[in-house]
A and B are shown apart, each in its own frame.
Chain A
Amino acid sequence: MATTKQKILLPAILLANDLLDGDVVFWTERGWSIDPAEALVAGDEAAAIRLQEVAAAALARGTVVDAYLVDVTLRDDGLPVPNHFRERFKIAGPSIRQDLGKQAAFAHLRGRA
């Protein structure tokens, strides 16, 4: 099956699930981080394509699973917030259990999903 080239929506971040514990991780300047505030934000198509290459290489190496680009809007404080609610929930944690997931660990995510 030919892979159709997906349209890149900008700005974008790269997220994935960590192989070992499944936690959502973000590509940063220094590799993967569990903190979305550190995510490297691609502002133009060239940067987004570099993120796609990172995703492909990481998947091939197998340290993460399910890596893909997510389009975001930058909040006033610079936090990239996904435009789609699915990815917002994926990053924050279960909306019904504020004591679990990243929202429990990072104050900047609380009440924002």
Chain B
Amino acid sequence: MYRYDQFDEAFVRERVAQFRGQVARRIDGALTEDEFKPLRLKNGVYLQLHAYMLRIAIPYGTLSSVQLRQLALIGERYDRGYGHFTTRQNLQFNWPKLRDIPDILDLLADVGMHCIQTSGNCIRNTTADHFSGAAADEVEDPRPTAELIRQWSTMHPEFDYLPRKFKIAVTGAARDRAAIRAHDIGIQVVRHPVSGEVGYRLFVGGGLGRTPMIGKLVRDFLPKAHLLAYLQSLMRVYNLEGRRDNKYKARVKILVHEIGIEEFRARVEAEFAALDPAAIAADPDEVARIEAYFAAPAFATFPADSQRVVADRARDAAFDRWVETNTFPHRQPGYAAVTVSLKPVGGVPGDATSDQMRAVADLADAHSFGEIRVSHHQNLILPHVRQDELHALWTGLVAAGLAEANAGLITDIIACPGLDYCALATARSIPIAQAISRRFGSAERQREIGELGIKISGCINACGHHHVGHIGILGLEKSGQESYQVTLGGDATENAAIGQLLGPGITAEEVPDAIERLVGVYLAHRHDGETFAEAVRRLGIEPFKAGFLAPQPAEAAHAAA
């Protein structure tokens, strides 16, 4: 796993010391809020509704057990005993006090963590497939690439003052689990069809927010060594031509949309042709050093399928269900990647208590080489678990209240903090998630419905990815009340698509019934083995629209009562 070297350590410590001084000067009045705000944001400190919020970077979602224990400690000592894992694979604490934040940052630095690149118009924390280095279907672990980008982009003088924030995601597999086409730049590690050389396919101009766009293919194959030069060319075109006059039009997606992908590509290629890729490329020794950090752990050799698991599953129905939904095929025979659901039925999506963080850290030490991942679905992952040990792991997760067997199912809902915490929110999102989760909470019901991703945002900024939810829910205000718009047909994978609006906004109370009707349309029309998303693609939006707009007689009576 990547560890900070001396340079990183010194740099992060220096930043903490600087920020400690800035906080002191803010508190004694030497700095005004206008002067301080950009400084605190650069260190991940936001002001929410009820308190400050600290956003901690978890580069490409990879955590060690030591780091997770430290987060648990911070949550307990300086917050309210819990944290919130986000769709950006980061962690947010909702109640830190300003005076404590420098101490928190020091505790983070003790374990090689920080809050840099979690805010502002810079290249943000690079995200990656949460099964990186574990997934059976991956060409190559994308994290060395993500780490290279992190090192290159951290405090890059040319890109520290971009027109707007900039988000990059990397996947090593054709099956996109990192939502790369919802990012400013999406990178897929690919093998060249003819030469077999490993390189990159790049997408540009994806993004959510008020103008959602799906990323467009900008380069089909880029040799690995050219990555930084190509990114630099792309960033330069954006930095020069991206709009700074209007923040709603400042993301690269708008530039790509306005000039067209052909023109955008031509400008990037012209810039690229003028550069010497070799001069910009990272030193091969450094690349080798990074790759060594991500070397696979010392796997043992086992048969592909553990007889032990087969026997345990036959004995224990709850375990069987959990294995079916929450394990993922591993590249190493005899191992599995495990999703630790942070979506208990009726719970707050993405929240984990300090005790739960410690439990996961201990289980990671016992069963997953001390490694944890954060997924953009707001779950945790234990990437490398011996199949023989799955039952022992599951037993530990049950004890910690973390064994919900719902990964990818209708109760595995993404929800942003919404109006329960966020100062920008126009409506709440968490209670909507909770109500849907309770409605569909039965294990049988969820399994019958199968894979279905509901994503909820509390305002048009779309932090909850609602545009790319199979069902998306957006909380707005309508005549002084919370109102929810429902979209259908979004997709965050390699079939990326923006959802379409089903009808006028509905009240919070009406949401579970509306979802029920959409599920009803699906169950009535699905072919054998067809998922919700596939059925929507085949049927189109119309039958669902009809279902959405037509309350059942029982509901209508209920509403009238």
Interface residues of A (CB under 8 A from B): 17, 19-24, 59-62, 65-66, 83-86, 89-90, 93-97, 100-102
Checking B26, B48, B425, B431 against A22 with a beta-carbon cut-off of 8 angstroms, the contacting residue is: B48
List B residues at the A interface (Cβ < 8 Å): 26-27, 29, 31-33, 47-52, 80, 95, 97-99, 348, 419-421, 423, 425-426, 428, 430-431, 434, 480-482
Instruction: Give A16 Cβ to nearest chain B Cβ, in Å.
Output: 11
Q: In this complex, which of B33, B49, B52, B431 has the most chain A Cβ atoms within 10 angstroms of its Cβ?
A: B49
What's the Cα separation between A60 and B33 when bound, in Å?
9
Q: Which of B51, B425, B430 contacts A96, CB < 8 Å?
A: B430
Chain A at the B interface: SS class: loop
Question: How far is B434's CA from A96's CA once the two chains are assembled, in angstroms?
Answer: 9
**A93 adjacent to B50 (CB under 8 Å):** yes
Name the contact of A89 in the complex, choosing from B29, B31, B32, B419 (C-beta under 8 A): B419
Partner of A100, one of B27, B31, B95, B481: B95
CB distance from A23 to the nearest CB of B (A): 6
Q: How far is the CB of A43 from chain B (nearest CB, A)?
A: 22
* B97:A19 contact, CB within 8 angstroms: no
Which residues of A sit under 8 angstroms from B98, Cβ to Cβ?
19-22
Task: Evaluate contact between B33 and A65: CB separation under 8 angstroms.
Answer: yes
Q: How many Å lie between the Cα of A20 and that of B52 in the bound state? A: 9
Among candidates A22, A84, A86, A97, residue contacting B51 with C-beta atoms closer than 8 Å: A22
Specify which of A23, A59, A96 is in contact with B348 (CB 8 Å cutoff). Answer: A96
Once the chains are docked, how many angstroms separate the CA of A62 from the CA of B431? 35
A62 CA / B29 CA spacing, docked (Å): 6
Our pick among A21, A61, A86, A101 for the contact of B29 (Cβ within 8 Å) is A61
Max chain A C-beta neighbours (<10 A), residue from B51, B80, B480, B481: B51
Verify B97–A22 contact, CB threshold 8 A.
yes
Please name all residues of chain A whose beta carbon is closer than 8 Å to the beta carbon of B99 when the two chains form the complex: 20
B520 → A minimal CB distance (Å): 28
Complex Cα gap A62–B28 (Å): 9
Question: Are A21's CB and B97's CB within 8 A?
Answer: yes
Choose from B31, B97, B481 the contact partner of A20 (Cβ within 8 Å). Answer: B97
Which of B29, B32, B52, B428 meets A95, CB within 8 Å? Answer: B428
Kindly list chain B residues whose C-beta atoms are within 8 Å of the C-beta of A17: 47, 51
The answer to whether B419 touches A86 (Cβ under 8 A) is: yes
**In whole angstroms, how far apart are the Cα atoms of A101 and B80 in the complex?**
11
Quote the shortest CB–CB distance from A22 to chain B (angstroms): 4
